Amino acid sequence: MKNAQLEWSYWPAEDSDEIHPTTIGSILRDAATAAPNRTAMVNWASHPSLRRTWTFAQLLRDAERTARALLLHFRPGSHIAIQAPNIPEWVLLELGAGLAGMVIVTISPSGRARELEYVLRQSQAVGLFHVAGFRCNPIQQWVTEVTPLLPNLQTSFAIEAWDEFLSKGSEEPLPEVDPYAPAQIQYTSGTTGEPKGALLHHAGLTNNARMAMKRLGVGAGDVYAHGMPFFHTAGCVLSVLGPIQAGATQVFPQAFDSELLLGLIERERATHFLGVPTMFVCMIEHLRQRKYDFSSLKAVCCGGASIVPELARDIESIFSVKLNCLYGQTESSPVITQSGTDDLEEDRINAATRPLPQTAVKIVDPLSGAVVRTGQIGEVCTRGYLVMHEYFDKIEASALAIDAERWLHTGDLGAMDERGYIRITGRLKDMVIRGGENLFPAEIEAVLAEYPGIVEVAVVGVADAKMGEELVAFVRIHGEPPSVEALKAYVCKRLAKYKTPRYWRFVAEFPLTESGKIKKAVLREQWTQGTFAENKAGSLGAAS
């Protein structure tokens, strides 16, 4: 299929790899059998005395202890929530719950009382593991507040008392776990309503992570570094379950920090690194201050948001490796398409990615649902082993996301070329209709990102009495600000004039999700509320 010449935007699931009947527990057992003394996990810190390390045999031992301790308190199938940063106990709970046949519910360590209560209630969690606090978030205080409101919550455990939790465990044999049994409930961001919990299964998670690592080129003995949060699939699925199956060492700090991650890559001799565009931007800015040794790197991977060509070129140049891009979402376990280091430079730089094995993809007209011709923009849909079971306890939302033929409608816009390579052009909900013309912000962002001095850009649509909607470009710059006339001319030279944003604003920083994505809904809301109207320093004015 790699040399296909498609006329329509449909890529059938190809069988260059098989679906393995694996579970989270079985992949750990296999890894410990294959290489018991190889380093499996390093919780990295700047001072060596604070670093913690496990071999695969030790990781299996501690995961089994965790499973038996869980089974002393909960039954297989129970929903167990975790609210903590990237610490080893998080991984042990994920692996232990997998061995015990339980379902983990992931919660951001930055979540406040209202968010904590919602997730615990909606997921029907019976147990909660949490740290006392993270950064300025007093998690223990929120746990104390919400616990009386949640009759289903049987107990909560402070991770600071981890050794005490492990001190007793069930003596019963660990249960047999079905590969298609639920393993995780991962909550979406909820930008279009209250968060929905994607119910993901063992086989979907393990196979997806294995195939993604294989395409990235991660193998036995490699060192895989990342700063992705564990409460996201990029963290606890790709970056935990992937290296385990590859026989690689995973290395992670407690939270993303540019200097810490750059030092980690250098000192641990990392061979592979995963980040999102915002992480790479921050790391590149830090590299203006000092140099690091990246000679150990074989490949770097960028996902989580569309990467612009200028940043892609910078990554390849600065890190001296070929860039691997991936696209997916929580509901698809999470990777749908991914590039390879052997892809053409034009494809790598423009984030053109192809479906993973056993993954069907089609691009459809958002209104009619019909498959569009290659090169045309439409909604990306996928089908196969990777699709979630459902949104937990949300029948209507599940039916809207997954149709009767089990196609997952991603809500993302993209175009497929005749080879089956896909470029994401934005979100369906972000499409702007200005005077009857359909505008795609990602197309304009990609052009502006090439402008000298622009570090990050976000284009959003706002209500307009005359045109229906107008475009606002929010830009973060390095150095002297450009004039609005220069920015207009730059866009007009590369795109049709009607695609030029009418309004322009400088920002010192962007509101971000914890996975590093720009919160466009927040920018739109701030604009509507007049936040930028009086901001003379941040205003570039309106383009006529």
- What pLDDT digit, counting tens, does each position of 306-343 carry? 788 888 999 999 999 999 999 999 999 999 999 998 99
Report the pLDDT value the prediction gives residue 242, as an integer from 0 to 100. Answer: 98
| Region 12-29 average pLDDT | 97
pLDDT at position 542: 44
Q: Identify the band that residue 193 occupies on the pLDDT scale cut at 50, 70 and 90.
A: low
> pLDDT category, 305, cuts 50, 70, 90?
low
Q: Which amino acid is at 434?
A: R
Cα–Cα distance measured from residue 274 to residue 416, given in angstroms and rounded to the nearest whole number: 25
- Which two structure tokens, joined as six digits, stand for 175? 């249960």
In whole angstroms, what is the distance from residue 491 CA to residue 463 CA?
22
pLDDT value of residue 267? 95
Q: What is the per-residue pLDDT for 1?
A: 57
Mean pLDDT of the chain: 92
Structure tokens belonging to residue 245: 């199956």
> If you count DSSP H runs as helices and E runs as strands, how many of each does the chain have, helices first?
17, 27
Burial 373-386 (b: 16+ CB within 10 A, else e): ebeebbbbbbbbbb
479: alpha, beta or left, given left = phi > 0 and alpha = psi -120 to 50?
Answer: left
| Pair type for strands 299-302 and 272-275 | parallel
Distance CA 252, CA 45 (A): 9
Mean pLDDT computed over 14-41? 98
Once rounded to an integer, what is the mean pLDDT over residues 481-490?
Answer: 92
Closest CA to 275 of 231, 318, 305: 305
Q: What is the pTM of this model?
A: 0.85
Contacts 24+ apart (CB under 8 A), 490-497: 490/447, 490/448, 490/451, 491/444, 491/447, 491/448, 494/447, 495/443, 495/444, 495/447
Which residues, 6+ apart, have CB-to-CB distance to 262 below 8 Å?
A: 283, 286, 287, 292
Ramachandran assignment for 223, one of left (phi > 0), alpha (psi -120 to 50 degrees), beta (any other): beta
Query: Which pLDDT score is estimated for 327?
Result: 95
Domains by residue range for the chain, with CATH: 10-416 (3.40.50.12780), 434-542 (3.30.300.30)
pLDDT of residue 464: 82
Tens-digit pLDDT profile for residues 335-357: 999 999 899 999 999 999 999 99
Is pLDDT of 536 > 90? no
Confidence bin at 9 (pLDDT 50/70/90): very high
pLDDT at residue 538, rounded to an integer: 43
Read off the pLDDT band of 430 (50, 70, 90): confident
Q: Where residue 535 falls among pLDDT bands split at 50, 70, 90?
A: very low
Which whole number is the average pLDDT over 424-448?
82
| Residue 30: HSE in the Cβ half-sphere, 13 Å Cα cutoff | 17
Determine the pLDDT at residue 512: 87
Average pLDDT over residues 472-491: 92
Task: Please tell me whether residue 289 adopts helix, strand or coil conformation.
Answer: coil
pLDDT digits (tens, 9 = 90+) for 67-76: 999 999 999 9
**Amino acid, single-letter form, for residue 62:** D
Q: What is the pLDDT of residue 475?
A: 95
Of 124-128, 192-196, 493-497, the one with minimum mean pLDDT is: 192-196
**H or E element in which residue 121 lies:** helix 113-123
Q: Is the pLDDT of residue 192 over 70?
A: no
pLDDT: which is higher, 189 or 449: 449
Q: At what angle do helices 202-216 and 239-246 cross, to 10 degrees?
A: 70
The predicted pLDDT at position 2 comes to 61
User: What is the SS3 string spanning 427-475?
Assistant: EHHHCEEECCEEECHHHHHHHHCCCCCEEEEEEEEEEECCCEEEEEEEE
Q: What are phi and psi of 442, to 5 degrees?
A: -60, -35
- The mean pLDDT of 117-132, rounded to a whole number, is 97
Burial of 367 (0-12, 13-18, 19+ CB in 10 A): exposed
Q: Are 38 and 224 in contact (CB under 8 A)?
A: no
Q: Distance between CA 203 and CA 160 in Å, rounded?
A: 32
Question: What is the percent of the chain with per-residue pLDDT over 90, rounded to a whole number?
Answer: 78
Predicted local confidence at residue 534, as pLDDT? 47
Mean pLDDT across 91-111:
97
What pLDDT does 466 receive? 77
pLDDT of amino acid 87: 97
The pLDDT tens digits for 150-170 are 999 999 999 999 999 999 999
* pLDDT category of residue 278 using cuts at 50, 70 and 90: confident
Assign 217 a pLDDT band (cuts: 50, 70, 90): very high
**Least confident span in 46-50, 62-66, 70-74, 352-356:** 46-50
pLDDT surpasses 50 at 56: yes
Q: How far apart are CA 243 and CA 28, in angstroms?
A: 10
Cβ 145 vs Cβ 111: under 8 Å: no
Ranges 240-254, 366-380, 494-508: which has the least confidence = 494-508
DSSP string, 210-276: HHHHHHHT--TT-EEEE---TTSHIIIIIHHHHHHHHTPEEEE-SS--HHHHHHHHHHTT-SEEEE-
Partners of residue 302 on adjacent β-strands: 275, 325
Average pLDDT over residues 179-188: 96
- Rounded (to 5) percent helix, strand, coil in the chain: 35, 25, 40
What is the model's pLDDT at position 544?
A: 35
CA 6 to chain centre: 29
Cα–Cα dist 269/248, whole Å: 13
**Average pLDDT of span 474-485:** 90
Nearest to 223 by CA among 245, 242, 201, 250: 250
Say if residues 311 and 277 touch (Cβ distance below 8 Å): yes
- The CA distance from 506 to 402, in Å, is 39
